[in-house]
Chain A
Amino acid sequence: MEAVRLALAITRRDRGARPPRPPTLILAPAVLVAAAMLLPIAYLVVRTAGAGEDAIHLLLRGRTLQVLANTALLALTVTAATSVLGVALAWLTVRTDLPLRRLWSVLLVLPLVVPSYVGGFVLVAAFGPRGMLQQVLAPLGVERLPDIYGFPGAMVALTLFSYPYVLLSVRGALAGMDPSPEEAARSLGCDLRSTLLRVVLPQLRPAIAAGALLVALYTLSDFGAVSLLQFESFTYQIYIQYQGSFDRTLAALFALVLVCLTVAVLYAEGRARGRAKYYRSTVGSIRPLPIVPLGRWRWPALASCGLTVMAALALPIFVLAFWLVQGMTAGQPLQLVWGPALNSAYASSVATVVIVAAAIPVAILAVRYQSPLSALVERTTYIGFALPGIVVALALVFFGVRYATPLYQTLAMLIFAYVVRFLPQAVGAARASLLQVSPRMEEAARSLGSSVPGTMARITIPLLRRGLLAGAGLVFLTVMKELPATLILSPIGFETLATSIWSTTGEGLFARAAVPALLLILVSFIPMAFMAMDDQSGQ
């Protein structure tokens, strides 16, 4: 008991000291970024202004509220499941002697690149009532598998394809953690279990919260998985409004309700992240992190990594390859799509650089200059991520065509759309990583005469490297698969892998969708492998 308290005392420090006023160089870009993030809300307000009584009536009917409650429940469950899975896998790949852990750490992140509109199809094809698994079991007399549709299916799909959010965020925190509290706890007689639960886990709190927040908001915004697995979520309702009635007012009204739900989630996360300090406050050299030997636990550990990779990565690849072979056997030609692959890689790389750059001032402001304003700026960046892609796309159509006509439907506009949609992924990762850096370093640099930009460039950003790279990885993978904004806002004729997949799956041409889908996974593999190698050299 005493040991734990002592260990924690090392990490938590004085609270309550008044934060300094942020320099304009950080405040101005951060506020500018946040203002851009408000565009979708401004659009929704403009659109809802014309809502009549009918719309309000439809909004308040029992079914809408039921759907809202179901959606909240789905978000909660998926968040809980991904948190458990993500933390466990992160710890195994960073802090244990798990065999082949470099390989696992690359493979376990990749499911993020499987678009939910592909993942959903694959799950139904494999585990549907009469899917591939049933075909295999048919000789044993299995006529039909239990229904995967509805809540369980949607939950499993979203968990499998979004747990990497938690994994990546927690992995960064685990790798950048100061080992001394753990060592203190262990030397004072704590066993491994209680050290993990009472020293390591509490320090991971902001990282888990950051990852879980992304999962929760992603769940709110997803359309592909929920529609394929027949779970009626709120986003599904919004799509139906566009689909059936071309009623943008009603859709906007529904989307505003989703914004309210997002604010509630953000509030909950704000409470969960806490106000503790997570950097080392004492003098000491940085030592390599202790590696926990797994012993015979190595087998269950390997099994859980293997199962996750099987279900979330190997299965989609297998099913896609199956479709491809089936199509070729039926006489379909093999069409390689290098043009779209290049386009995807190009747009994703540019977007990643821009998004990471935009995230830096927001993260610094939120961590180093805590105030209601900085909290508001940081939280605002999350709005675009929680909204269905089509809503963000239409918001940018509305503003783009009116106020940025020369840029409308250019690559610049598309990149801007990606920023609005995916910025929080980089902000969260940068923030979690900055929390582990002591402000004393920056203060020392400043006191030695370094300017604000100089300090940022030479001290803060290099120390944030791990977090920024993790954020960059997340952003790259998600931009690769982005669809609704790409369809509407890209330069005309700019085909990406995601749009190639979409244009064929929509018509049920799966053999033709398989090639771009497999390429998407392949191209995404490259930066992930680089990141893993970089991790290795850093240690």
Chain B
Amino acid sequence: MNLGRRISVIVAGASLVGLLVTSCAPAAAPQPAGKTAGTSQTTTGAPAKSSGVITVYSGRAKGLVGPLLDQVAKDIGVEVRVRYGDTAQLAAAILEEGNRTPADVFFAQDAGALGALSKAGQLTKLPDNILNRVDKKFQSVKGEWVGVSGRARVVAYNTQTLKEADLPESIWGFTDPKWKGRIGWPPTNGSFQAFVTAMRVLEGEAKAREWLKGIQANSPKVYRDNTTAIQAVASGEVQVAFINHYYLFGQLKEKGEYFAARNYYPKKGDVGALMNVAGAGILSTAKDKKAAEAFVEYLLSDGAQRYFAEQTYEYPMVQWIPTDPRILPLSQIQAPNIDLTNLDDLNGTLKLMQELGIL
């Protein structure tokens, strides 16, 4: 009896809390911090107002893109409902949902996830006015997804033990036995795998295998992602790690300039300086295609592109938007000339890495 009453009190209490939550939910949503897209934004290149409601599955974290997405309704009148999650897991969820997916747009951390949806026939072709804003290198051949911001592959190095001059010109230099025990890498990370794929495409299967084996011989430490890898570099747990460039800047923001890691762009134009993209695609089942297109167009507007350059320290996909001064500009990166759409042979890469016992 006592317990029964207690339970009913709990239920009543819980529903009350629920009512409170639902009634004050919009007000409780955290406000974007500091400088947001709104303040730094000009309207040049921004699409015209349209209306509608769309659902976005975002594999990019709320901490990074939340302030921008919160701005969309105000700027173009499209109400955006966002589900944040892990890129790979959201892609798996969309594949599971199939035709019934509530998602209209998929905003992914890497091109691989978009490729998987495209392969399954779940994406639709984007209009030319969107595709034309972005270099052909950074979009799908079928025009089913488009790069929104770029991230360069870099070698993060510990500044207490190394100077840039100590680092080899090419990532091949790291197969030298003198790097034994000093390297960290995140082999399960999508960008890392894309980089291996690029190496296979550019230099051939045999060379890629040779490089992986060479690094393996130097007993690299395995980190689960870019974040854990760069922290290990800064603490001196390892001296170098193969990661994406922009993780450094988030750390600098939080930990201050004393954070003991910096980025190094391999000088020779090999895959060490490959450019990856985060991108977006529209689901073929999207209910309001016009609104979905307006949203993707918005991501490529000058204001949004400036947001990526200034707030997430990425490379804008729209050429005339300047990069952050601390980042090596695109024109100076000796990135290999490779078409990202050639990177869809991920399975071959996974097979190779499995065979070598890396995965």
Q: Given A492-B83, A506-B227: A401 and B116 within 8 A (CB)? A: no
- Report B-chain residues with C-beta under 8 Å of the C-beta of A352: 10
- Report B-chain residues with C-beta under 8 Å of the C-beta of A356: 7
B128 in contact (CB, < 8 A):
no
Q: Which residue of B lies closest to A511 (CB)?
A: B254
B2 in contact (CB, < 8 A):
yes
- Report A-chain residues with C-beta under 8 Å of the C-beta of B101: 401
Q: Please determine whether A244 and B350 come into contact, CB atoms closer than 8 angstroms.
A: yes
Counting chain B residues whose Cβ lies within 8 A of the other chain, the interface size class is: 35 or more
| B 85-122 contacts with A by CB, 8 A | 85-86, 88-93, 95-98, 100-102, 112-113, 116
Give Cα distance in the complex from A398 to B97, angstroms. 6
A interface size (C-beta, 8 A): 75
- Report B-chain residues with C-beta under 8 Å of the C-beta of A349: 10, 13-14, 17
Contact of B254 among A327, A343, A345, A350 (CB under 8 A): A327
Q: Which residue of A lies closest to B102 (CB)?
A: A409
Q: Given A349-B14, A408-B102: A401 and B3 within 8 A (CB)? A: no
A488 in contact (CB, < 8 A):
yes
Q: Please determine whether B193 and A402 come into contact, CB atoms closer than 8 angstroms.
A: no
Q: Given A333-B33, A339-B29, A484-B89: A243 and B64 within 8 A (CB)? A: no
Q: Which residue of B lies closest to A223 (CB)?
A: B224
Per-residue A-contact encoding for B1-40, CB less than 8 Å = 1, 0 else:
1111001001101100110110011001110011000000
A123 in contact (CB, < 8 A):
no
B172 in contact (CB, < 8 A):
no
Q: Please determine whether B235 and A503 come into contact, CB atoms closer than 8 angstroms.
A: no
Give Cα distance in the complex from A402 to B136, angstroms. 38
Q: Please determine whether B62 and A245 come into contact, CB atoms closer than 8 angstroms.
A: no
A390 to chain B minimum Cβ distance, whole angstroms, is 6
Q: Please determine whether A487 and B25 come into contact, CB atoms closer than 8 angstroms.
A: no
Give Cα distance in the complex from A397 to B113, angstroms. 18
Contact of A398 among B33, B96, B255 (CB under 8 A): B96
Q: Given A240-B359, A462-B2, A492-B55: A330 and B347 within 8 A (CB)? A: no
| A 177-234 contacts with B by CB, 8 A | 227-228, 230
B49 in contact (CB, < 8 A):
no
B231 in contact (CB, < 8 A):
yes
Give Cα distance in the complex from A284 to B86, angstroms. 58
Q: Given A130-B235, A507-B63: A246 and B113 within 8 A (CB)? A: yes
B324 in contact (CB, < 8 A):
no
Q: Please determine whether A230 and B17 come into contact, CB atoms closer than 8 angstroms.
A: no
B223 in contact (CB, < 8 A):
yes
Total A-B contacts with CB atoms under 8 angstroms apart: 190
Q: Please determine whether B82 and A507 come into contact, CB atoms closer than 8 angstroms.
A: no
Q: Which residue of A lies closest to B99 (CB)?
A: A401
- Report B-chain residues with C-beta under 8 Å of the C-beta of A330: 253-256
Give Cα distance in the complex from A405 to B99, angstroms. 12
Q: Please determine whether B224 and A228 come into contact, CB atoms closer than 8 angstroms.
A: yes
Give Cα distance in the complex from A342 to B17, angstroms. 7
Q: Please determine whether B190 and A492 come into contact, CB atoms closer than 8 angstroms.
A: no
A394 in contact (CB, < 8 A):
yes
A41 to chain B minimum Cβ distance, whole angstroms, is 16
A51 to chain B minimum Cβ distance, whole angstroms, is 15
Q: Given A462-B2, A503-B62, A508-B227: A339 and B21 within 8 A (CB)? A: yes
Q: Given A349-B10, A504-B61: A339 and B1 within 8 A (CB)? A: no
Q: Please determine whether A401 and B100 come into contact, CB atoms closer than 8 angstroms.
A: yes
A6 in contact (CB, < 8 A):
no
A19 to chain B minimum Cβ distance, whole angstroms, is 26
B76 in contact (CB, < 8 A):
no
Contact of A487 among B33, B84, B112, B189 (CB under 8 A): B84
- Report A-chain residues with C-beta under 8 Å of the C-beta of B228: 124, 228
Q: Please determine whether B89 and A507 come into contact, CB atoms closer than 8 angstroms.
A: no
Per-residue B-contact encoding for A43-54, CB less than 8 Å = 1, 0 else:
000000000000
Give Cα distance in the complex from A337 to B66, angstroms. 15
Q: Please determine whether B63 and A509 come into contact, CB atoms closer than 8 angstroms.
A: yes
Q: Please determine whether A492 and B82 come into contact, CB atoms closer than 8 angstroms.
A: yes
A295 in contact (CB, < 8 A):
no
Q: Given A243-B190, A244-B350, A510-B254: A390 and B4 within 8 A (CB)? A: no
Q: Please determine whether B30 and A488 come into contact, CB atoms closer than 8 angstroms.
A: no
- Report A-chain residues with C-beta under 8 Å of the C-beta of B98: 401
Q: Given A339-B21, A507-B63: A499 and B84 within 8 A (CB)? A: yes
Per-residue A-contact encoding for B45-73, CB less than 8 Å = 1, 0 else:
00000000001000001111000000000
- Report B-chain residues with C-beta under 8 Å of the C-beta of A239: 188
Q: Which residue of B lies closest to A239 (CB)?
A: B188
- Report B-chain residues with C-beta under 8 Å of the C-beta of A503: 61-63, 84
Q: Please determine whether A335 and B30 come into contact, CB atoms closer than 8 angstroms.
A: yes
B250 in contact (CB, < 8 A):
yes
Q: Please determine whether B85 and A508 come into contact, CB atoms closer than 8 angstroms.
A: no
B346 in contact (CB, < 8 A):
yes
Q: Please determine whether A353 and B30 come into contact, CB atoms closer than 8 angstroms.
A: no
Q: Please determine whether A457 and B4 come into contact, CB atoms closer than 8 angstroms.
A: yes
Q: Please determine whether A246 and B116 come into contact, CB atoms closer than 8 angstroms.
A: yes
- Report B-chain residues with C-beta under 8 Å of the C-beta of A408: 102
Q: Given A329-B256, A409-B102: A458 and B18 within 8 A (CB)? A: no
Q: Please determine whether A465 and B2 come into contact, CB atoms closer than 8 angstroms.
A: yes
Q: Which residue of B lies closest to A352 (CB)?
A: B10
Q: Please determine whether B1 and A458 come into contact, CB atoms closer than 8 angstroms.
A: yes
Contact of B250 among A243, A335, A508 (CB under 8 A): A508
Q: Please determine whether A462 and B1 come into contact, CB atoms closer than 8 angstroms.
A: yes
A468 in contact (CB, < 8 A):
yes
| A 116-169 contacts with B by CB, 8 A | 124, 128-131, 149
Contact of A345 among B17, B61, B224, B359 (CB under 8 A): B17
Give Cα distance in the complex from A484 to B92, angstroms. 12
A493 in contact (CB, < 8 A):
yes
- Report A-chain residues with C-beta under 8 Å of the C-beta of B231: 508
Per-residue B-contact encoding for A323-358, CB less than 8 Å = 1, 0 else:
100110111110101110011011001101100110
Give Cα distance in the complex from A458 to B2, angstroms. 9
Per-residue B-contact encoding for A294-330, CB less than 8 Å = 1, 0 else:
0000000000000000000000000000010011011
Query: 13 interchain pairs (CB within 8 A)?
Result: A63-B354, A129-B235, A248-B96, A331-B253, A332-B254, A333-B33, A339-B30, A342-B20, A349-B17, A353-B14, A401-B100, A492-B81, A510-B254
Extra contacts, 6 of them, besides A63-B357, A401-B98, A488-B90 (Cβ < 8 A), are A240-B359, A326-B254, A338-B28, A339-B25, A457-B1, A493-B25
Interface pairs A-B: 5 shortest CB-CB: A339-B28, A508-B227, A246-B116, A349-B14, A130-B235
- Chain A interface (Cβ within 8 Å of chain B)? 58, 61, 63, 124, 128-131, 149, 227-228, 230, 239-240, 242-246, 248, 323, 326-327, 329-333, 335, 337-339, 342-343, 345-346, 349-350, 352-353, 356-357, 390, 393-394, 397-398, 401-402, 405, 408-409, 457-458, 461-462, 465, 468, 484, 487-488, 492-493, 495, 499, 503-512
